[in-house]
């Protein structure tokens, strides 16, 4: 880059990522890079940060942070883009790690990126060799909108080209920045950390099981036999994500190991998030820095950069970044999970001052180009190159231009009313207006629907407040299952007395569906184990069912279950049996003018093609898929009013073949079933016309219906129970509220899938041929 280009004036720059005081390695990186860039651009350039917040606590940021994003709220990414565009930032430096953004594989970040008007430089802190489909697609989508990528290792640069097909010209390798720590004798700062006269072995950073600290602890007996004054210091708090999921289980296990081995005088834990000054004391006081990590695929390590940058003698396992950084005798590599090798190398370094100091000097000299001011200049050069390229040919932003502009109409998901309707037993069935009507008790149908909605919401937001609801609804289903009869009961009084020994086939199958979806999406072993057990206990009874809707519910649950356990042969056989039954029933009844498997359209009609569609996809049966799609198109045709809005079949007379079609009373659950079926059709076919139909479903709740009256109540978060000819039913029961929430969640999930691979059904491609009935 020429000097003229390098001095291209920049007036405003933004960095997006986590930020201190949030305890996060990327937060430290973002703050340091932000300050370094501000130092390089001078007071004439406004450099600020957009910070990602999690659900764990409120962070009190400094003045550098100008905007905050709640990571699990999609709308806030769009608001952040509006903020950046409005403030006319010249460029954005975005820090990428899958876990710091919401949505599957962090896909919510795409909502921000596709709306930005300025060049974007994306720093990839993780590059995966074997990404799952969501991860691969997120990187591919980022590649469509990012102007440049920055990685911190040569191997990462090669992987982006070979695995993700990103042009090398768009990738820059810039090392991880480091502070300017003087090269001094380790004895200088030992008094500051209370370890005068000790040989200090240091591990630092956020504590998690993949840090392999236990292997160094097991190495300590051999070390202290040779060096009785040695002490192993483990500096750092537990990683917030690990702590949220498992508490201090790993740290407590390490404490126990130290006590069992009698190493209390030789292993110390300093459980705090050290400031940069304090960290500098520990780094310069360390005689040896050890990184016994267990994950080879770590492509970036701030810990390694800081250790080498402070002139440490490093002993590490050969994870990817360490292989590059410690080459040419800049450090020592030992095999993974090998305490003996760790002990041998540490002892040798403590024995041999000359070798240890040679490693220190090589590491320190190698990292001088990694000082933050030099790193910041390289980032600015990359941005200026992107600005020049933008002048030549602007990169086309990722667009959702289609029949469906989601952002115009989609409210946020609001569980307020569902929480009010839920007590310690489960979800109550009915309400008087928006107040729970306890006279009618509970039912398995509603608690199964609620479990599905809660699991979908958890998969989108990972909101901790939803976990108690998941436990409550799953516990209700466990209690509902009659162990002797191997069937679910349905109705329970408010006094917790079951009103039947066996519920309907449909309620049983709906519970199976909920357990299958929970199996697919469960993150915690306790939830997964219980859902799988209940699913497998309840499944055999379906073989003897005669209700087509129960077959379809079960197939939906089986399809979800098989996404988690695709090799389950019994589940696959059940899909085939139920799919064939549905298809056979269509052959008996369906004609060109009546594309259904019964001669009357009643309730839950769309669930039938939904189940058949998923079975056909699983079985690679074009006949099943085409029959299902034909049926769903026909159901939409007969339930779309002349002005173009949805008008579902009413329950006051239904719709018999050859007879009149009842307009009222319209039930919200029918709209939900249509939306679910259309969503499955879209995921399979990629035909965007299904999005139009899903939009009609959502709009029905928001007032585009036969009465032009909203069914959703924004003031309560509930949904009105039905649409009568004279008006709407003002009661807001569980079924209608869940119908709204489920439809809304379908749309929110589609907002994610619009930026992910929409073909996520673990099946091969199917030739879709129009079938004549």
d(CA 642, CA 218): 76
pLDDT tens readout for residues 259-303: 999 999 999 999 988 888 899 999 999 999 999 999 999 999 999
Angle between helix 569-589 and helix 607-619 axes, rounded to 10 deg: 130
Q: Which residues of the chain have pLDDT under 70?
A: 1-8, 391-409, 752-773
CB atoms within 10 A of CB 231: 21
d(CA 518, CA 569): 19
Query: What pLDDT is attached to residue 753?
Result: 62
Q: How far is CA 326 from CA 311, 331, 347, 463, in A?
A: 13, 5, 19, 41
Query: What pLDDT is attached to residue 423?
Result: 97
204, 279 Cβ separation under 8 angstroms:
yes
Query: What pLDDT is attached to residue 55?
Result: 75
pLDDT tens readout for residues 28-83: 999 999 999 999 998 889 999 999 998 777 899 999 999 999 998 888 998 999 99
324 Cβ contact list (under 8 Å, min separation 6)? 153, 154, 155
Buried b (16+ CB within 10 A) or exposed e, 279-292: bbbbbbbbbbbbbb
Give how far the C-alpha of residue 734 lies from the chain's centroid of Cα atoms, to the nearest Å. 28
**Coil, strand or helix: which one is 114?**
coil
DSSP code per residue over 606-625: THHHHHHHHHHHHHT-HHHH
734 Cβ contact list (under 8 Å, min separation 6)? 418, 421, 427, 428, 429, 430, 431, 446, 449, 450
Instruction: Work out whether strand 600-601 and strand 655-656 pair parallel, antiparallel, or are unpaired.
Output: antiparallel
57 Cβ contact list (under 8 Å, min separation 6)? none
d(CA 579, CA 572): 11
Cis peptide bond prior to 25, omega within 30° of 0? no
d(CA 672, CA 664): 17
Query: What pLDDT is attached to residue 9?
Result: 79
Of 556, 560, 562, give the one whose Cα is nearest residue 672. 556
Q: Which residue(s) pair with 488 in the sheet?
A: 481
**Coil, strand or helix: which one is 213?**
helix
d(CA 765, CA 720): 41
Q: Which residue(s) pair with 46 in the sheet?
A: 12
Instruction: Work out whether strand 727-729 and strand 722-724 pair parallel, antiparallel, or are unpaired.
Output: antiparallel
d(CA 203, CA 220): 13
428, 438 Cβ separation under 8 angstroms:
yes
Angle between helix 734-753 and helix 689-702 axes, rounded to 10 deg: 140
What is the 3-class SS of 705-743, one letter each residue? CCCCCCCEECCCCEECCEEECCEEECCCCHHHHHHHHHH
Residue 381: enclosing H or E segment and its boundaries?
A: helix 372-392
Query: What pLDDT is attached to residue 8?
Result: 65
Query: What pLDDT is attached to residue 5?
Result: 54
For the chain, the farthest-separated pair of C-alpha atoms sits apart, in whole angstroms, at: 97
Q: Indicate yes or no: pTM above 0.85.
A: no
d(CA 552, CA 365): 67
347, 370 Cβ separation under 8 angstroms:
no
Helices marked H in 106-149: 109-113, 133-145
Query: What pLDDT is attached to residue 74?
Result: 84
d(CA 618, CA 621): 8
Of 617, 644, 639, give the one whose Cα is nearest residue 628. 617
Exposed/middle/buried for residue 357 (C-beta within 10 Å: 0-12, 13-18, 19+): middle
Q: How far is CA 606 from CA 94, 218, 508, 552, 634, in A?
A: 43, 61, 18, 10, 10
Q: Determine phi and psi for 305, rounding to 5 degrees.
A: -60, -45
């Amino acid at each position: 880059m020429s000097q003229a280009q390098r001095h291209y004036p920049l007036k405003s720059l933004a960095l997006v990522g986590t930020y201190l005081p949030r305890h996060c390695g990327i937060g430290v990186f973002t703050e340091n890079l932000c300050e370094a860039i501000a130092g390089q651009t001078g007071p004439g350039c406004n450099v600020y940060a957009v910070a990602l917040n999690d659900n764990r606590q409120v962070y009190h940021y400094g003045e550098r942070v100008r905007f905050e994003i709640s990571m699990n709220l999609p709308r806030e990414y769009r608001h952040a883009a509006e903020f950046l565009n409005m403030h006319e930032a010249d460029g954005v430096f975005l820090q990428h790690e899958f876990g710091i953004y919401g949505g599957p594989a962090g896909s919510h970040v795409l909502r921000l990126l596709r709306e930005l008007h300025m060049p974007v430089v994306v720093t990839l802190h993780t590059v995966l060799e074997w990404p799952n489909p969501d991860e691969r697609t997120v990187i591919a989508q980022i590649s469509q909108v990012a102007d440049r990528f920055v990685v911190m290792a040569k191997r990462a640069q090669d992987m982006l080209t070979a695995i993700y097909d990103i042009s090398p010209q768009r990738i820059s390798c810039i090392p991880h920045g480091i502070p300017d720590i003087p090269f001094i004798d380790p004895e200088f700062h030992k008094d500051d950390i209370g370890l005068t006269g000790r040989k200090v072995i240091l591990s630092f950073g956020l504590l998690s099981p993949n840090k392999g600290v236990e292997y160094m602890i097991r190495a300590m007996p051999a070390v202290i036999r040779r060096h009785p004054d040695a002490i192993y210091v483990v500096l750092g708090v537990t990683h917030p994500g690990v702590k949220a999921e498992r508490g201090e289980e790993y740290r407590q296990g390490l404490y126990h190991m130290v006590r069992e081995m009698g190493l209390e005088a030789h292993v110390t834990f300093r459980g705090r998030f050290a400031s940069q000054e304090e960290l500098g004391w520990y780094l310069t006081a360390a005689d040896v820095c050890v990184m016994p990590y267990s994950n080879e695929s770590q492509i970036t390590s701030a810990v390694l950069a800081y250790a080498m940058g402070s002139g440490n003698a490093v002993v590490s396992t050969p994870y990817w970044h360490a292989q590059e950084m410690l080459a040419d005798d800049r450090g020592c590599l030992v095999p993974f999970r090998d305490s003996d090798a760790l002990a041998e190398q540490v002892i040798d370094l403590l024995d041999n001052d000359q070798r240890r100091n040679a490693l220190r000097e090589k590491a320190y000299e190698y990292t001088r180009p990694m000082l933050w001011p030099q790193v910041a200049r390289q980032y600015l050069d990359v941005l200026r190159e992107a600005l020049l390229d933008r002048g030549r040919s602007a990169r086309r932003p990722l667009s959702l231009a289609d029949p469906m502009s989601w952002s115009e109409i989609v409210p946020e998901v609001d569980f307020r009313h569902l929480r009010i309707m839920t007590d310690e037993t489960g979800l109550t069935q009915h309400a008087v207006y928006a107040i729970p009507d306890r006279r009618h008790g509970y039912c398995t149908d509603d608690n199964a629907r609620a479990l599905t909605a809660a699991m979908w919401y958890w998969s989108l937001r990972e909101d901790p407040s939803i976990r108690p609801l998941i436990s409550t609804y799953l516990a209700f289903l466990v209690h509902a299952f009659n162990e002797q009869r191997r069937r679910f009961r349905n109705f329970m009084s408010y006094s917790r007395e079951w009103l039947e020994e066996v519920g309907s086939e449909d309620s049983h199958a709906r519970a199976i569906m909920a357990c299958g979806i929970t199996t697919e999406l469960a993150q915690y072993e306790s939830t997964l184990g219980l859902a799988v057990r209940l699913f497998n206990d309840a499944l055999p009874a379906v073989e003897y069912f005669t209700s087509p809707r129960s077959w379809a519910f079960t197939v939906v649950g089986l399809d979800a279950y098989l996404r988690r356990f695709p090799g389950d042969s019994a589940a696959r056989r059940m899909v085939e049996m139920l799919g064939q039954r549905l298809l056979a029933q269509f052959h008996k009844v369906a004609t060109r003018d009546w594309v259904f498997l019964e001669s009357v359209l009643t309730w839950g009609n769309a669930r039938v093609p939904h189940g058949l569609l998923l079975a056909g996809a699983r079985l690679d049966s074009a006949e099943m898929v085409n029959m299902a799609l034909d049926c769903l198109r026909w159901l939409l045709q007969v339930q779309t009013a002349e002005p173009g809005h949805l008008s579902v079949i009413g329950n006051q007379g239904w719709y018999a073949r050859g007879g009149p079609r009842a307009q009222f009373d319209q039930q919200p659950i029918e709209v939900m079933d249509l939306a679910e079926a259309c969503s499955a059709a879209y995921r399979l076919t990629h035909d965007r016309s299904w999005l139009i139909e899903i939009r009609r479903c959502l709009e029905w709740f928001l007032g585009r219906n036969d009465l032009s009256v909203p069914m959703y109540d924004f003031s309560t978060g509930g949904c009105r129970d039905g649409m009568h000819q004279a008006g709407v039913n003002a009661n807001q029961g569980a079924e209608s509220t869940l119908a709204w929430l489920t439809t809304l969640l379908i749309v929110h999930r589609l907002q994610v899938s619009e930026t992910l691979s929409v073909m996520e059904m673990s099946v091969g491609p199917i030739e879709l041929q129009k079938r004549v009935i």
